Structure 1
């Protein structure tokens, strides 16, 4: 596989699906487009046509157009009549709102897991937490986001509420795609990455106070990094 940090995006069929999803070719194309957004290859505010993106990714225009419509439903792009799709620009206010909603959902849910989650299930998340740290150190944004999604949504899934996982997953897609490339260049992503291991250790120690502190710091830390990349 080609280096996923390179400026030229890989063909969609060769890119791994974010979050482990591979259920359809259309979804794999959408995942490839998300990967290009994460790596900064598709820029906020820019307009891209389906044929141009199809040529760039080495696929036909139809799955690209369908995938972009999926991304439009997620709020990642806007349709521009007769031109294509504009990558959505996210304001500081929107990022603040996303972070606030995530804190209202994720912090109490994860704190409860300190007393309810099976230690074996928690320990099973450690490989993903380590992958996050490794990807951050290597500046591999696609691998970082893949592992980050697996860890956080896998952790929330232990609460047994699939709708909660779906809501948080949507919020993460709307926010986590922005600013990561700048954070890597500034060498500031590893500190946030290491917090995943710290959180896991606190959960395994059944320390609710420590879990609350790490989760609060993690969300605030990430928002702070977005604000000043």
Structure 2
């Protein structure tokens, strides 16, 4: 598991669990840890070069988020999501994020929006550089920071949880097909519309972006099952 090896986890005891959780979450999102597969804490700990205890604790954190489920005497199975699950998560995100983007466009200060440009550009750069972990981290920071401009902390928490549960599968395959770059560039497009004060345009762009992300899931799922074009 390439992304798990050689991670810098030389941290204090109290931070190690959180760092392992973040590393495992990144591996889950990127598809390095595969849905339906059972992973043991000792095996993962060997990849990290640490003891099994913080890995086991981190996996329990992920289990509470619904990302993995304990398997007695074996380890943890990565949760599998159905097409219906992904559709429902996308619908909830759309109900929250589309109108929120419109509201933020009308109320946020231009300097607060402009402060997000480096992150939007970082997303595009990571996609072009095939830096999948960097892409996902920058994408997370952009969306949550944008929603935070609404002033509603609970809204941000809800979307953060939905993003964890509706992670992109098989990101490597999407990257190899060049399908991440158009999605990445939509962040810059969205920001430009918001800075121009075009609330309706921003809402339409966010709707397009969420639809684009969902189509990537469907495309990857169909490819993995040999069903591309059947959806």
TM, length-normalised to structure 2: 0.90
* Aligned 1:1-229 pairs, distance under 5 A: 7-14=2-9, 24-229=15-220
Distance 1:177 1:224, change over 3 A: closer
CA distance in 2, matches of 1:147, 1:195: 13
Q: CA deviation at 1:34?
A: 1.4
CA RMSD of aligned residues (A): 1.6
Unaligned runs of at least 5 residues, structure 1: 1-5, 16-22
Q: CA deviation at 1:41?
A: 2.3
Q: CA deviation at 1:8?
A: 4.9
1:129–1:196 contact (8 Å) kept in structure 2: yes
Q: CA deviation at 1:12?
A: 4.4
CA distance in 1, matches of 2:31, 2:147: 28
TM, length-normalised to structure 1: 0.90
Which 4+ runs in 1 deviate beyond 6 A? none
CA distance in 2, matches of 1:112, 1:8: 38
SS at 2:5 equivalent? coil
Question: Hey, what does 2:228 align to over in structure 1?
Answer: none
Q: CA deviation at 1:167?
A: 0.4
Unaligned runs of at least 5 residues, structure 2: 221-231
CA distance in 2, matches of 1:28, 1:169: 18
Q: CA deviation at 1:153?
A: 0.1
Q: CA deviation at 1:144?
A: 0.4
SS at 1:228 equivalent? helix
2:30–2:169 contact (8 Å) kept in structure 1: no
CA distance in 2, matches of 1:8, 1:194: 25
* Count of aligned pairs between the two proteins: 217
Q: CA deviation at 1:89?
A: 1.1
